[in-house]
Homo-oligomer: A and B are copies of this chain.
Amino acid sequence: MVAKLAQLISVAKGELPADLILANARVVNVFTGEVEPGNVAIYCDRIAGVGDYHQAREVLDLAGQYLAPGLINGHTHLESSMLDVGQYARAVVPRGTLAVVTDLHEIANVSGLKGIKYVLNSARRLPLELFLMAPSCVPATTHLETSGVCLELEDIRQMLRWKECIGLGEMMNFPGVIGGFEAVLSKLKLFQGRVVDGHAPGVSGKNLTAYIAAGISSDHESVSLAEAKEKLRQGMYVMIREGSSEKNLAALLPLVSDKTYKRCLFVVDDRSCVDLLTDGDINAVVRKAIRHGLDPVRAIQMATINTAERFRLNYLGAVAPGYLANLIVTSDLTEMQIAMAFYRGRLVARDGVPLFEAYQPGGEGLTNTVNIKPFAPQALRLPAVGETELIIEVVPGQIVTRKRAERVKVKDGAVLPDISRDILKLAVVERHKASGNIGLGLVKGFGLKRGALASSIAHDSHNIIAVGASDEDIYTAIKEVEQLQGGLVVVADGKVLASLALPIAGLLSDQPLEVVVAKLADVEKQARGLGVTLPAPLSTLSFLALPVIPELKLTDLGLVDVTEFKLVKRG
């Protein structure tokens, strides 16, 4: 319930009883950087006061446990969890994340504003503050792939009017900004005086200056201390990212000092449901930072008040009068296991268990998005044009690839997979408009000895991507993804060995968190059974169609030389 101001004041004065008092807490004060004993009085959705409060409808004795502000995840694509929003909340809220700043560009690439609205509307029924950074780059490229949706300036203008929208999401098109392209600048101009997030991997010197001068005030792509230092010095907030695949905490933590820490915050960017369940969300980042030697209170500041200040979030990020009563309780600040989570004054999770219903509309209006023009296995035939072919080489644990040219096995004028040299067939099938586009290529590094893997998660356009040792298994896997209307699939010898259906936009499951985690584990296990050596092969696969990350990628239009930013001519 929303607090009435007059009553809140009365509770603060101690004249009216509070709804809830959290007694005998060790309160993390993000303003002083200290921990102080006290009772916290809560009235409706607000904190009335911290101190000597005793009268309440309910008193909960925390017996000296720590009480801190609810954690705020400053940058994430929550679609990475593969969870529907309600299940995502079930995953993160018990881990202390009570607010997220999210750029929903995955679902936007498939379903546009409707997809974004679906998430926002779901979140309104969940114990989680959700703030939208309007996706700035949907699709990631306009000429190198076929996407489901193109968000035009007018769409972005529309999002700007939504109350959840607090800024412009990561401007991945840094060449467009630095090049001064009008279509890009017009988006930035729309957000003048608002918060604009950056995405500038490896950009430095005057290019970085130009990017920042355009009004972009944060970055989460730094991988080295020097890179982060330069960005901070030039005025960016540095988001220290510790995601499922992108892990920058250890490298960047030395940046954090008495002089700089207020300009640094923690984010996860992408975090899988497995990591959310087993390791945690932002609390896991805080924990890891403390293990690396950061003062616990400062680590919490970087996951609460600093984030709130960077995004100008009102009444969030502190345990103080008038703030929203989004709070976490933990017995050990360094472990950051969340004993209790309160959302707007209500206990919503205890000992890792959510105490709320996962509102689950089941993806209404966002299902049946996989729309493939019928094709035969023969369409996967890759005609040979010579003795050598360009090959995408996977770099384990990274989303960049290497471009190779190698001799290949050719039979009857067609290039064949070469298991002995780990050269596999890669296919991207357009799935939004039934255009019939199929991009074909070769990839090295999966280690698959037989069978195929396919996925409807293929950043950022999310066509169907498949890798395999035979055209038949690739075909079967793609058909199974089509049949599921989205999902992850493992096939061998014409049989589906494992699958995780992702019926919502082809990106999210409609199943409970635990089921998704179990099915994903099974998919990965079956893939390993086929010889796969990569730790998260479906995740790696999903980035092979992303034509903005070097060096060589494959889209439904064909091979893309990312460094040249163009399609490679074939045949």
- Of residues 1 through 58 on chain A, the ones whose CB sits less than 8 Å from some CB of chain B are 5-6, 8-14, 29, 31-34, 36, 46-52
State the CA gap A34–B258 with chains docked (Å): 12
State the CA gap A262–B213 with chains docked (Å): 24
Q: Tell whether A213 pairs with B321 under 8 Å between CB atoms, given A180-B9, A188-B5.
A: yes
- Among B51, B205, B234, B258, the residue within 8 A (CB) of A320 is B234
A483 contacts the other chain (CB 8 A): no
A207 contacts the other chain (CB 8 A): yes
Enumerate chain B residues within 8 angstroms of A213, measured Cβ to Cβ.
Answer: 8-9, 11-12, 46-49, 321-322
Scoring A32, A46, A185 by chain B CB atoms within 10 A of each residue's CB, the highest score goes to A32
- Among B209, B309, B322, the residue within 8 A (CB) of A214 is B322
**Is there an interface contact between B32 and A209, defined as CB atoms closer than 8 Å?**
no
Q: Tell whether A9 pairs with B214 under 8 Å between CB atoms, given A314-B193, A320-B234.
A: yes
A260 contacts the other chain (CB 8 A): yes
**Is there an interface contact between A185 and B318, defined as CB atoms closer than 8 Å?**
no
Scoring A8, A178, A321 by chain B CB atoms within 10 A of each residue's CB, the highest score goes to A321
Enumerate chain B residues within 8 angstroms of A182, measured Cβ to Cβ.
Answer: 6
**Is there an interface contact between A51 and B206, defined as CB atoms closer than 8 Å?**
yes
State the CA gap A314–B9 with chains docked (Å): 32
- Among B207, B214, B259, the residue within 8 A (CB) of A5 is B214
**Is there an interface contact between B180 and A51, defined as CB atoms closer than 8 Å?**
no
Q: Tell whether A31 pairs with B232 under 8 Å between CB atoms, given A213-B12, A214-B322, A320-B212.
A: yes
**Is there an interface contact between A235 and B32, defined as CB atoms closer than 8 Å?**
no
A307–chain B nearest beta-carbon distance, Å: 14
A189 contacts the other chain (CB 8 A): yes
A215 contacts the other chain (CB 8 A): yes
Per-position 1/0 for A258-287, Cβ under 8 A of B? 111011000000000000000000000000
A299–chain B nearest beta-carbon distance, Å: 14
A88 contacts the other chain (CB 8 A): no
A210 contacts the other chain (CB 8 A): yes
**Is there an interface contact between B214 and A318, defined as CB atoms closer than 8 Å?**
no
Number of interface residues of A (CB under 8 A): 57
A273–chain B nearest beta-carbon distance, Å: 34
A323 contacts the other chain (CB 8 A): yes
Q: Tell whether A31 pairs with B235 under 8 Å between CB atoms, given A213-B46, A322-B215.
A: yes
State the CA gap A397–B55 with chains docked (Å): 43
**Is there an interface contact between B31 and A233, defined as CB atoms closer than 8 Å?**
yes
A256 contacts the other chain (CB 8 A): no
**Is there an interface contact between A260 and B5, defined as CB atoms closer than 8 Å?**
no
**Is there an interface contact between B259 and A32, defined as CB atoms closer than 8 Å?**
yes
Q: Tell whether A210 pairs with B180 under 8 Å between CB atoms, given A233-B29, A309-B309, A322-B215.
A: no
A177 contacts the other chain (CB 8 A): yes
A291 contacts the other chain (CB 8 A): no
Enumerate chain B residues within 8 angstroms of A47, measured Cβ to Cβ.
Answer: 213
Residue of B nearest to A5 (CB): B185
**Is there an interface contact between A6 and B48, defined as CB atoms closer than 8 Å?**
no
State the CA gap A214–B321 with chains docked (Å): 8
Residue of B nearest to A181 (CB): B6
State the CA gap A13–B312 with chains docked (Å): 30
- Of residues 151 through 208 on chain A, the ones whose CB sits less than 8 Å from some CB of chain B are 177-178, 180, 182, 185, 188-189, 192-193, 205-207
A459–chain B nearest beta-carbon distance, Å: 27
**Is there an interface contact between B10 and A321, defined as CB atoms closer than 8 Å?**
no
State the CA gap A260–B48 with chains docked (Å): 23
A211–chain B nearest beta-carbon distance, Å: 8
Q: Tell whether A207 pairs with B13 under 8 Å between CB atoms, given A233-B29, A235-B321.
A: yes
Sample of 16 further A-B pairs with CB below 8 A, known A6-B180, A36-B233, A49-B213: A5-B214, A6-B185, A9-B178, A9-B185, A10-B210, A12-B206, A31-B233, A31-B234, A32-B259, A32-B260, A34-B259, A50-B209, A51-B206, A235-B321, A258-B258, A258-B259
8 contacts between A and B (CB under 8 A): A6-B180, A9-B213, A9-B214, A13-B178, A31-B260, A46-B213, A213-B321, A234-B320
The list of the 5 closest CB pairs from A to B, nearest first, reads A235-B320, A33-B259, A213-B321, A258-B258, A12-B210
